[in-house]
Amino acid sequence: MRLLSGIQPTGLLHLGNYLGAIKNWVKLQNKYDSLFCIVDYHAITVPYDPKKLPKMILDLTLDYLACGIDPKKSIIFVQSDVPEHTELAWILSTVTSLGDLKRMTQFKDKSKQHAENINAGLFNYPILMAADILLYKAQVVPVGQDQLQHLELAREIARKFNKKFGNVFPEPKPILTKAARIMSLNDPRKKMSKSYGEKSYIALSDSPETIWKKLAPAVTDPARVTIKDPGTPEICNLYHLHQLFSPKKQIDQVADACRNAKFGCLDCKKILWENIVKELKPIQEKRKALAANPEKIKKLLQQGAQEAKKIAQKTISEVKEKMGLKY
């Protein structure tokens, strides 16, 4: 079974990306024949700085590797290094209905967010995503809830193509990330995101001091005004983070201390801070060591692209054959 997933190189990765995607990929790469892509062609559908993009691509590669994506087990590559992605996207656009694209909620959201730059690439984004997956005939795609609609469209595109030209593509199935949605520190009603400012997220590269600066003012259960006020851990965003970073015994202690006003939120945050720092430390150390040799990282990406191309070219050849594009 083949698996494909990817992240856009848009800057520093945060805990939401780590817990919602990469941590899960590290386990999945042992079970599936995996490809992990740096989807730079998707990143250019919104305003970006061309001078910063090359560094962001290398940074994301470092994050993949530091978190445990292993190039001996998985193919790691950059989307634009394999031109077959855009070639297949064009082909698939001819079997994709305009109505389906217009229904995509992400396009509607991003159009509002970037009202000054609603480009055709943003509209066609789901076709490129379908091409990313179908090019490798991936049977499974780990996705968050917010990408399910795009994956459903990829399945629909595969069905339409197969019906019209003959069976080529398997219909990719989602592997839904089990981790809870990671919410913003300063506004837990929103998903953790860099768009809500520095205090809303913890980056994987944040130092212990920076993490504390972000955790200390983080929003908790508003009922806990003073140390003597009991709270409800289940409604607190930080308690959810405890469940992801703290050992079971400490999670239980935190819940008890919160309900029975045994300690204040700052004590609770201190325990969480220690556990987050402990988990991120080896990742940060590995990342620092890898960053010392950028040429090695570039070489690794080139090798990854070559391996990806072997699969991609085979699929494109089969597609062209079926479509009458070979003479």
Give 1's contacts (C-beta < 8 A, 6+ positions apart). 31, 32, 33, 139, 140
Least gap, CB of 260 to ligand SF4 (angstroms): 10
Question: Which of 259/288 has CB closer to ligand SF4?
Answer: 259
From the list 207, 255, 213, the residue with the least C-alpha distance to 230 is 255
Are 41 and 86 in contact by the 8 Å Cβ rule? The answer is yes
**By C-beta, is 153 or 272 nearer to ligand SF4?**
272
- Rounded Cα distance, 91 and 33, in Å: 25
Least Cβ distance, residue 54 to ligand SF4 (angstroms): 40
Closer Cβ to ligand SF4, 136 or 273, answer by number: 273
CB of 232 to ligand SF4, least distance (A): 8
Told to judge if 194 belongs to the known catalytic residues of this protein, a careful annotator would answer yes
Q: Would you give the distance in Å from CA 2 to the centre of its chain?
A: 18
Q: How far apart are the first and last CA of the chain?
A: 33
Note if 191 is an active site residue. yes
27 noted as active-site residue: no
Q: Which is nearest to 308 in space by CA: 128, 71, 64, 136?
A: 136
Tell me the two tokens of residue 156: 């629909």
Between 172 and 233, name the residue whose CB sits nearer to ligand SF4.
233
Contact positions vs ligand SF4 (CB under 6 A):
220-221, 224, 231, 233, 236, 238-239, 254, 258, 265, 268-269
Task: Provide, rounded to whole angstroms, the least separation between the CB of residue 144 and ligand SF4.
Answer: 24
Amino acid symbol at 227: I
Q: How far is the CB of 190 from ligand SF4 (least distance, A)?
A: 18
C-alpha–C-alpha distance, residues 280 and 137, integer Å: 34
CA distance 110 to 98: 18
Token pair in block for residue 19: 């817990």
In the complex, minimum distance from the CB of residue 207 to ligand SF4, in angstroms, rounded to a whole number: 22
Residues 84 and 135: beta-carbon distance below 8 Å:
yes
**Three-point CA angle 29, 307, 40, nearest 5°:** 80
Instruction: Evaluate whether 265 touches 220 at the Cβ level (below 8 Å).
Output: yes
In this complex, which beta carbon is closest to ligand SF4, that of residue 172 or of residue 188?
188
- Measured from the CB atom, the residue of 6 and 231 that comes closer to ligand SF4 is 231
Catalytic residue among 160, 194, 298, 309: 194
Residues annotated as catalytic (active site), given as ranges: 110, 191, 194
